[in-house]
Structure 1
């Protein structure tokens, strides 16, 4: 018997925990596009069953948001997910992706004090895209508070820091140029291409 068939049988189990887990796993399996048995509607149904159970899985909110065509509905479920799992960074990442109130989500992430690098890099992407250079410094500092940051990642953060000093409301070109010179010296493999040089020209 294949795994999905066994899980389908568990759905009718009297144990609500087993039923909730089975629905989540089936939703996960059917939502994987790499899976030959991908089935969006079926995945959505199983994920909804899990979310409406007494034991919703935190990642089920993320998977469901990806599948739900009405992103307002997706956002509502994600917000509900944060009520149950207020520290789940995956739910925050999904909410930042789909909500129209991205500034509100960024504010919440800041206030909660998250240091998860993946989440904070998503925040940086949004702030850069929306030209909110004056806000990125605090998130760069939080990323750096994590151990094990690679040298090329740290150099990239320095590049962003320099640009933020140039483009924020109160510019500091002297400090920015000093940082950019250090970035160029450390960019042995030219990973950052012309970005630091453009900063110096500006």
Structure 2
């Protein structure tokens, strides 16, 4: 929390709010045309805050975020896949901080080799350099703007190899329970 006293600005870290939140999460998963798997998730919430420090204001916070995760099969053998991942958080207020929207698009490709024992994933995170914290805070009439960008863009490569026998034989044995009830 920031305070201005006798022309001196000070920033004090402490718990400034009690808050109550109620929300709703929604998720949907489906496959289309036997080649496109998609997952959609949405999260909406309402938060009411009560300040524990007199300089802070009561807040009513509405927030909404959603995401799409898609995997598209590129060949008949199902060994090459295109991944298209996107999430978006609409503008919201948290505590005394008002944030603009945040979003990220991360495409990738996935492939399987050696009878699907080796999986190779290549993912580009935050392709368009859109993941940032941009907004302002209000403290007793004082507005402090901020813009923070940590470069989350990256190239992630993962290799997974499955060892072992995929063809496990099932063994069944029939037991005659008539002998169990026989007295000795």
TM-score by length of 2: 0.21
Which structure has the highest strand share of the two?
Answer: 2
TM-score by length of 1: 0.19
Q: Which has the larger radius of gyration?
A: 2
